[in-house]
Amino acid sequence: MYVTDPIADMLTRIRNATNAGLKYTTVPASTIKIEITKILEAEGLIRGYRLIKDNGQGKIKIAMKYTEAGLPAIRGMTRVSKPGCRVYKGVSDLPRIRGGLGFAILTTPKGVLTSKTARQERVGGEVLAYIW
């Protein structure tokens, strides 16, 4: 199946899995999706992930994380930069998400970073998504 915005598809699959209370979800693999998944794991929003090799591009199996009360660790996520309308921000213009409780994921010259890390590295870039 051809998807015009693979990152939005990934975020939607994760959002749907958390809303349904699933333990795992699977998304088609790509380099940028693997980097986004690594950020989600480093921020403690997913339990982990595993790369599944197949004859095609491969898949990422993501283990969803929930609180003891059964609430998802990821409260919300939204796609910012889209294929038809790219959104770029400089380091001084990086937004604070939910008063600092969330973060943005950016593609920068130094790789895929969170907004917190991008401020420390003093670099801006394309804002892919907001996550809280």
**Do 59 and 28 touch, CB atoms closer than 8 A?**
yes
> What per-residue confidence (pLDDT) applies to 1?
63
**Do 70 and 103 touch, CB atoms closer than 8 A?**
no
Query: Would strands 111-114 and 103-108 be described as parallel, antiparallel, or unpaired?
Result: antiparallel
> What per-residue confidence (pLDDT) applies to 56?
87
Burial group, residue 114, by CB count within 10 angstroms (0-12, 13-18, 19+): buried
DSSP for 12-75 reads HHHHHHHHHT-SEEEEE--HHHHHHHHHHHHTTSEEEEEEE--SSS-EEEEEE-B-TTS-BS--
The residues pairing with 125 across neighbouring beta strands, listed in sequence order, are 89
Distance separating alpha carbons of residues 100 and 132, to the nearest angstrom: 9
Distance separating alpha carbons of residues 30 and 71, to the nearest angstrom: 28
> Is the domain 6-64 a CATH 3.30.1370.30 member?
yes
pTM for the model stands at: 0.92
- Domain positions in the chain are 6-64, 80-131
6-64 and 80-131 have identical folds: no
> What per-residue confidence (pLDDT) applies to 2?
74
> What per-residue confidence (pLDDT) applies to 95?
85
- What CATH number labels 80-131? 3.30.1490.10
> What per-residue confidence (pLDDT) applies to 99?
83
pLDDT one digit per residue (tens) for the chain, 132 residues: 677 899 999 999 999 999 999 999 999 999 999 999 999 999 999 999 999 998 888 999 999 999 999 999 999 999 999 999 999 999 999 988 888 889 999 999 999 999 999 999 999 999 999 999
